[in-house]
Amino acid sequence: MFKNNLLKMFTIDVNMKTIGKNINTKALFNKKDYKTSILRFNLSMDNKPLNISDCKVTTRILTGNKEKVEIESKILDAENGVVVVGLNKSALECIGENWIELLVQYNEQKLYSPKMYYIVSNDIYS
Are the C-beta atoms of residues 38 and 10 closer than 8 Å to each other? yes
For 101-116, how does the pLDDT look when each residue is reduced to its tens digit (9 = 90+)?
999 999 999 999 999 9
Helix ranges (DSSP H) in the chain:
89-92
Taken in order 51, 57, 63, 66, the sign of the CA dihedral is negative
Residues 44, 32: Cα–Cα separation, whole Å: 32
For 24-81, how does the pLDDT look when each residue is reduced to its tens digit (9 = 90+)?
999 999 998 888 899 999 999 999 999 999 999 999 999 999 999 999 999 999 999 9
Q: 0.75 exceeded by the pTM?
A: yes
Average pLDDT score over the chain: 92
How far CA 107 is from CA of 19, 87, 110, 119, in Å, comes to 22, 26, 8, 33
